[in-house]
């Protein structure tokens, strides 16, 4: 079966849609590598075998974002999710879902400690806004050179971050300030999601919905967290020398699969609800999309 976009059997193309991974465009981003991110569920597994995630966010005005992110991670198969939030946000979030655990936090002290401990990070929304401010320029530079962080800016957030980097790097005499030039992974959200790390960019052209509503970015952040957690577990387990040797490519692929998952869920939710679609409807489709993806991988194995 030939892919409609395949023009040369020897061409090492990068996948742009979920179906592309089954056509052997590029051995680094294939169904075999995707299959590793969907470990079998067994009776020998324990709480935490498929990931433990901490979500930082939430205030008296904004309680939905951490809920959507945490719930998306759970629907992707993560075992345990703790939400660290402002005290006034804890009761509303707990009312949304009894599965979520809450605590208080101070974000930037935790970011420093997380990098020190080499933990995986996913940063979205207000965290990205704060990083664009002058007083946080030092930690922004640290994060840009940290391989275990994924940032998920929209168009405006991306513009702010680039302006902050350009301003700071000009002061340091840098000439390549127009490019991200990052060790971290950047997911620029849009009709086509762009997953980039240094000189590699994966495009997610998976068809989504036609309505843009608040909360979908939070669902994406939680879904990315889930797949990054699974990638981290595989990396630490030393499962095959090939997987360990391809750390950055595998991490990018995990993020790209998360983008495909949310695009598919948004497409399903839009077809079902049309103009009435909300982030909650997208969230409700995540588990079905994950099941379909697993079935695709099982049938191709």
pLDDT at 128: 93
CA distance 8 to 6: 6
Provide the token pair at 104: 């208080």
Cβ atoms of 238 and 254 within 8 Å: the answer is no
Q: Which of 6-10, 15-19, 212-216, 287-291 has the lowest mean pLDDT?
A: 6-10
Q: What is the pTM of this model?
A: 0.87
pLDDT bracket for residue 60 (50, 70, 90): confident
Is the model's pLDDT at 87 over the cut of 70?
yes
Model confidence at 244, in pLDDT bands (50, 70, 90)? Answer: low
Q: What is the pLDDT of residue 1?
A: 35
SS (H, E, C) 168-208: HHHHCCCCCCCCCCCCCEEEECCCCEEEEECCEEEEECCCC
For the cut 70, the answer to whether the pLDDT of residue 36 exceeds it is yes
pLDDT for the residue numbered 3: 44
What is the average pLDDT score of the chain? 85
Point out the least confidently predicted range of 2-16, 41-55, 126-140.
Answer: 2-16
Which pLDDT score, from 0 to 100, does residue 104 have?
Answer: 58
Contact criterion met (CB below 8 Å) for 109 and 80: no
- Section 265-270 average pLDDT: 98
- The pLDDT of residue 173 is 55
Question: Given this model, what pLDDT does residue 11 score?
Answer: 46
pLDDT for the residue 174: 58
Q: What is the DSSP letter of 23?
A: T
Whether residue 10 is predicted with pLDDT greater than 60 in this model: the reply is no
Q: How confident is the model at residue 28 (pLDDT cuts 50, 70, 90)?
A: confident
* CA 160 – CA 70 distance, rounded (Å): 26
pLDDT tens digits for 201-237? 999 999 999 998 999 999 999 999 999 999 998 888 7
Q: Residue 259: which of 163, 186, 189 has the closest Cα?
A: 189
Separation in Å, CA 195 to CA 17, 31, 187:
13, 18, 5
pLDDT on residue 171: 60
Given a cut of 90, whether residue 95 has pLDDT beyond it is no
CA–centroid distance for 11 within its chain: 28
CA–CA separation, 154 and 162 (whole Å)? 12
Task: For residue 198, give Cα distances in angstroms to 142, 181, 183, 201, 252.
Answer: 15, 5, 6, 8, 11
> CA-based angle 290:294:296, to the nearest 5?
115
| Mean pLDDT, range 61-84, rounded to an integer | 92
**What per-residue confidence (pLDDT) applies to 25?**
64
Our CA angle for 29, 30, 33, nearest 5°, is 90
Average pLDDT over every residue of 93-113: 76
């Amino acid at each position: 079966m030939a892919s409609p976009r395949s023009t040369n059997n020897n061409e090492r193309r990068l996948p742009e849609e979920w179906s592309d991974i089954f056509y052997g465009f590029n051995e680094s981003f294939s169904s075999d590598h995707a299959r590793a991110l969907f470990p079998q569920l067994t009776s020998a597994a324990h709480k935490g075998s498929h990931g433990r995630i901490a979500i930082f966010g939430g205030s008296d005005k904004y309680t939905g974002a951490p809920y959507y992110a945490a719930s998306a991670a759970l629907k992707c198969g993560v075992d345990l999710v703790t939400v660290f939030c402002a005290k006034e946000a804890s009761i509303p979030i707990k009312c949304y879902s009894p599965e979520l655990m809450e605590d208080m936090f101070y974000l930037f002290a935790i970011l420093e400690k997380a990098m020190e401990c080499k933990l995986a990070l996913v940063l979205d929304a207000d965290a990205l806004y704060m990083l664009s401010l002058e007083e946080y320029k030092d930690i922004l530079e640290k994060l840009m050179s940290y391989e275990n962080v994924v940032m998920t800016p929209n168009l405006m957030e991306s513009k702010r971050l680039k302006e902050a980097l350009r301003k700071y790097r000009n002061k340091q005499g840098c000439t390549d300030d127009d490019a991200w030039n990052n060790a971290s992974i950047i997911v620029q959200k849009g009709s086509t999601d762009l997953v980039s790390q240094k000189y590699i960019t994966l495009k997610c052209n998976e068809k989504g919905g036609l309505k843009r509503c608040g909360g979908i970015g939070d669902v994406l952040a939680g879904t990315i967290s889930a797949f990054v957690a699974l990638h981290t577990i595989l990396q630490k387990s030393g499962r095959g020398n090939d997987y360990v040797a391809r750390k950055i490519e595998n991490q990018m692929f995990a993020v790209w699969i998360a983008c495909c998952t949310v695009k598919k869920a948004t497409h399903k939710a839009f077809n079902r609800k049309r103009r009435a679609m909300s982030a909650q409807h997208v969230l409700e489709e995540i588990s079905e999309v994950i099941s379909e993806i697993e079935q695709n991988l099982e049938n191709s194995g």
